[in-house]
Structure 1
Amino acid sequence: MAQIPFSDPPWLRGLPSPYYTDSHRKWQAAIRPLLQRLLHDHAVEWEAAETVPEHVFGQFAAANLLIATLPAPLPIDWLKRVGIHELPGGLKVEDYDTMHNVIFGDEIGRSGLAGPPGSLTTGMAFGVPPIIKFGSPQLQERFLPDLLLGKKRCCIAITEPDAGSDVAGITATATKSECGKFYIVNGTKKWITNGIWSDYATMAVRTGPPGSGASGLSLLVVPLKNFPGVTMRRLKVSGQISAGTTYIELDDVRVPVENLIGKEGRGMQYIMTNFNHERLAVAVGTTRQARVALSAAFAYVLKREAFGKPLMEQAVVRHRLAKAGALLESQSAWVEQFAYQMTRMSKEDADRELGGLTALLKAHAGMVFKECADTAVLLFGGNGYTRSGQGRIVEMIYREVPGTRIPGGSEDVMLDLSIRQLVKLYQAKTKALESAKI
C-alpha cells in the first residue's frame, strides 16, 4: 500500500539518502514494531487516561530501549559492567551514534503524542547524562547501576516558578550543614517532567551567595520519592499530560555532600552542555509530531467531501498542505544534516560549532510544528476541534504545540541565544585569525 505523503521522512519512503548506513536501517526496522507494540498501540488511550501504566517502564528497561535515549556515544564501559552489550536488533552499544539516536527519537514519536514516550524516557535522556559526564567515580558507582538498568528513576530539575529559560536566576539554595556532611536544600522546582515517579533528581541549586548568577550554580543528585523534606504534586497541563509534570517543594532537605555532580560553581556549564542534547531531542520529536499532524490532514482531505467534491480538489486546501509540507521537509532535512554533522565531529567541536544552531533548530521545530498542527485542525474543521472521533488525534496534538515551544528554552529566548552564540563564535574566529597574522 502506498504511503500517505509526509507520513515518513524521505529515506523511509524509499528515496535515496547519504546519511543512513545499513546499521541505521537495521536499527529502524528493529525498533519500529517493538515501539508499536509496547507504546504506540496504546498511546492515545494512555494520554487520555493521563498516565502510562507503571509496568511499561519495566518493559522498556528490559528491552534496553531506555538506553537509546542517552546521547551518543553511549557510556560503553558502564553499560557493559551492568550487562548491557547490545540494543534491539543486535546493535552493539559501541556502534551507537547520533544518527541511531535521531532515528529512535523519530520512531518513538510516531503516535504523534509526546506525553507517553516522555513519561518513559525523559528522565533517562536528560537526568542521567550529567552523572555520566561529570559525576565522580564514587557518585557513578552509587547511582548508575540502578539508573541504567531501570531499577530506579531520575529526572532533570532545573526550572523554578520564577526561573525557566533564565537559568542563572535559579533561587533554590544548597547550604552546607555545620558538620559539613550535607547540603541543606530549600526551594521549589516547577514543570519537572517525570518528577512524580522519580527516585532522584539531577537538580540545579545555588551554592553561591545571592546575586552570584551563573557562577553560583551547582548540580546535585537530590533524593525525591518518600524522602524527608520533599513534597511533590502533579500539575495539570494542556498537553503531554501523561509525562507527569510535577511541582517539587524542598524544605531543609539533607543531601550528602557526596551527591555533588562535578565541582561547585560549574553547574551552569554542565546544564548548558546537557541542553544541547535536550534541544536536539526536542527538535527530532517535534518534527515527527508535525509529520503525524500533516499526514493525518492529507489523508483526511483525500476522502472528506464538501461542495460536491473531495476537499483535495480545492486549491486553497492544496495550498495549505504545500506551505506546511515545505516547512516540514526543510526542517526534517536540517535535523538529518545536524545529526550527521555530530557523527563527524568531536564532542568539543560540536558543542562549540553547533551550540547556537541547536537552539535555532529547536526553536524552528516548534514553529514548523505550529504550522502543521494549525493546518491539520483547520482542514479537519469541526472534527479537529473535537476530543473524539476521527479528528481526535489532531486535537490532542494541537494541545501539545506549546509544550514544545516553551520547555528546553522558550522559543524567543532560543532565537536570541542562537544569534548571540553565532556572533560570539564569529568574533572568536576573527580574533584568532588576526592574532595569527601578527
Structure 2
Amino acid sequence: MASPRPIPFSEPPYLSGIPSPYYSDSHLSWQKRCREFISKNLTSHAMEWETAETVPEHVFHDFSAANMLLPSLPAPLPVERLKSLGIKDILGLPVEEFDYFHNAIYTDEMLKSGLAGPSGSLTTGMAFGVPPLYKFGSKELQDRFLPDLLTGRKRACIAITEPDAGSDVANIQTTAVKSKDGKTYTINGTKKWITNGIWSELSCMAVRTGGSGPGGLSLMVVPLKGHEGVSMRRLKVSGQISAGTTYIELDDVVVPAENLIGEEGMGMKYIMTNFNHERLTIAIGCARQARVALGAAFEYCMKREAFGKSLMDQPVVRHRLAKCGAQLEAQWAWTESFVYAMTKLPKKDADVELGGLTAAAKAQAGVVLMECAQAAVLLFGGNGYTRSGQGEIAEKMWREVPGNRIPGGSEDVMFDLSVRQLVKNYQNKTKMLERPRGSSKL
C-alpha cells in the first residue's frame, strides 16, 4: 500500500513526490535507513527527553555503536582514518561515498521532531569540535585523540564563545601562555554557552596565544571533564534545553604544547572555515523545524472549527499558511543549491565563494523559522501558548527560534558579514582583471 501523502509543507519536495535533480538512489535509500534508525532511537522519545531536560546517556552510545554520529561531520569524511578504525560504512553507505547531500539528509532527519535539543546533545561536539583536528592537526595530535572521538569512546565540544565575545570572535580573551621551556601552555579564562560541554572530556578551544585581534588566536585541544583547574556548570536556556549548554571556567589549566591545532596565530582562519559547516547545518535544521511548526499548524487548521467552519475555510488563515509556506520552500531551494555547490566545489573555493552567502542563508533561515513558528502559535491560539496538550509542539517550536538566530553568528552580524564578504570577493576578482600599469596587454 502506498504511503499517505504528507501534510502540505511538512516534508521537503523530494519526499513529497516532486522530482528533484539532486537526489540519487544512494541518497534516497540513505534517507529511508536514516529515518528508520533515527525515528526508533531519537524522534519517538524527543519530546519526553526535552521535557525532562536531558537525553539518557545510553542514547549517545547507541548512536556511536551504529556509527550514526559520524554523518554530522562535513563531507568528505576522513575516510582513511575511519577505515583504520574498522569503520567502512554507515548503515550500509560506504564512507567514501558520503557527500554533502547525505549530510543534509541526516541533519534533516535528526530534526524530525522539531526539537534541536535532543539531536544537538548527540551531534554538536562531533559536528563542530572534531573536524579541526583532522583538517588542521598534526598526525601526532590526530593519532592521540581521533580514535576515541570518532568511535564515541570520548566526547568533545567546540568552545569558542565567551561572556564578552560571542559573534565578535576576534575579541576572545581566554589566554594560553607558553612555558619558558616550550613544553606546555597554561590556560586561563571562561567559555559560555558551550553546547555539550558538561559531558565532554575534550574541547576544541579558541585561545589567545598572541596579541590582540584575530592574529593572536589559536585553536587547541583542552581537556575538560575531571581535569585539574576546569569547572563546569549547565546553563538554563529557553530552547534546546536538553543539549547541555555549559559555562566553563579555566583556572591555570596546563596542557601539553603538542595540543596546539595547526599553527599559532591561525586560529581565526580555522574557526571561520569551521563556521561554514556549522551555518549550513543550522540552515538545514531550521528548514526542518519550520516544517514541523507549519505542518502541525496546517493539520490543526483542517480539523479545528471556529465561527461555524474549519479554520482552513477562513481566507486569512489560508493567507498566513501560504505566505509562510512560500518563504519556507524558497529558503529550502536556496539551501539545496548550497548543498549541491558543496558537492562540486573544492573546499578552499567553497570557503571563499560560499562563505558570505552561507552566513546570509543561515540568518535568513532563522527568519523563516521565526515566521513559521509564530504562525503556528497564532493559529493554535491558546493551545499554542500552552506547554502541554495539542499545541505543545507550537509552544516549544517558538522557544526554539532564538537558538537558531543567535548561535553560529547572530543574525545581524551574519547579514552584514555576507555583504562584506561579497564586496571583498568582487574587489579581488576585479583587481585580477585590471591591466598591469604601463602594459598594453590585458
Q: Under a length normalisation based on structure 1, what TM-score does the superposition of the two structures give? A: 0.98
- What residue in structure 2 maps to residue 291 of structure 1? 291
Letter in 2 for 1:188: T
Aligned to 2:49: 46
Q: Is the 8 A contact 2:5 2:16 kept in 1?
A: no
Give the aligned partner of residue 27 of structure 1: 30
The Cα offsets for residues 24-58 of structure 1, whole Å up to 9 and x where unpaired, read as 00110111010000000100000000000000000
**1:5 and 2:8 equivalent?**
yes
**1:220 is aligned to 2:252:** no
Partner Cα separation in structure 2 for residue 264 and residue 20 of structure 1: 41
Quick check: 172-181 or 7-16, which moved more?
Answer: 172-181
Matched ranges for 1:222-371 at <5 A: 222-371=222-371
**Corresponding residue SS for 2:400:** coil
- Kindly state the Cα deviation for residue 2 of structure 1 after the two structures are TM-superposed: 2.5
Partner of 1:144: 146
Residue in structure 2 matching 1:120, options 119, 122, 136: 122
Letter in 1 for 2:154: K
Cα distance in structure 2, aligned partners of 1:380 and 1:339: 34
Stretches of structure 2 that go unaligned for 5 or more consecutive residues are none
Tell me how far apart the structure 2 counterparts of residues 91 and 250 of structure 1 sit (CA, whole Å): 41
Corresponding residue for residue 430 of structure 1? 430
1:105 to 86, 104, 107: 107
Q: Which amino acid aligns with 1:29?
A: K
Q: Distance in 1 between matches of 2:57 and 2:396?
A: 22
Question: Aligned equivalents of 2:41 and 2:320: distance in 1?
Answer: 34
In 1, Cα distance between the equivalents of 2:384 and 2:419?
A: 36
1:82 maps to 2:85: yes
AA in 1 matched with 2:63: F
| Count of matched residue positions in the alignment of Structure 1 and Structure 2 | 435
Aligned partners of 1:383 and 1:33: how far apart in 2? 30
Q: Distance in 1 between matches of 2:405 and 2:181?
A: 44
1:188 is aligned to 190
Distance 2:397 2:374 in 1: 10
CA distance in structure 1 between the partners assigned to 2:80 and 2:409 by the alignment? 32
Give, in whole Å, the separation in 1 of the partners of 2:341 and 2:68: 24
Q: CA deviation at 1:182?
A: 1.0
Distance 1:153 1:3 in 2: 37
Amino acid at match of 1:50: E
- C-alpha distance in 2 between matches for 1:83 and 1:391: 46
- The equivalent position to 1:72 in structure 2, one of 46, 71, 75, is 75
Q: 2:174 aligns with which of 172, 196, 199?
A: 172
What is the one-letter code of the residue matched to 2:84? R
Calculate percent identity across the aligned residue pairs: 70
In structure 2, C-alpha distance between the alignment counterparts of 1:380 and 1:337, rounded to whole Å: 33
- The alpha-carbon deviation at position 155 of structure 1 amounts to 0.1
**Offset, 1:349:** 1.1
**1:177 deviation in Å?**
2.0
Residue 160 of structure 1: SS of its match in structure 2?
coil
The DSSP-based 3-state class of the residue aligned with 2:434 is helix
Once residues 29 and 2 of structure 1 are traced to their aligned partners in structure 2, the CA distance between those partners, rounded to angstroms, is 16
Residue 373 of structure 2 corresponds to: 373
Q: Whole-Å Cα distance in 2 between the matches of residues 292 and 26 of structure 1?
A: 22
1:285 partner amino acid:
G
SS in 2 for 1:225: coil
Give the equivalent residue in structure 2 for 1:420.
Answer: 420
How far 1:179 sits from its partner (Å)? 3.2
Q: Find the aligned partners of 1:130 and 1:2 in 2 and give their Cα distance.
A: 42
The equivalent of 1:15 in structure 2 is 18
Hey, what's the Cα distance between the residues in 1 that align with 2:153 and 2:324?
42
Question: How far did 1:178 drift?
Answer: 3.2
SS in 2 for 1:399: helix
Deviations 1:127-150 (A, max 9, x none): 000001000000000000000000
What is the root-mean-square deviation in Å for CA atoms of aligned residues?
Answer: 0.8
Distance across 2 between alignment mates of 1:254 and 1:341: 42
Tell me the CA shift for residue 306 of structure 1.
Answer: 0.3
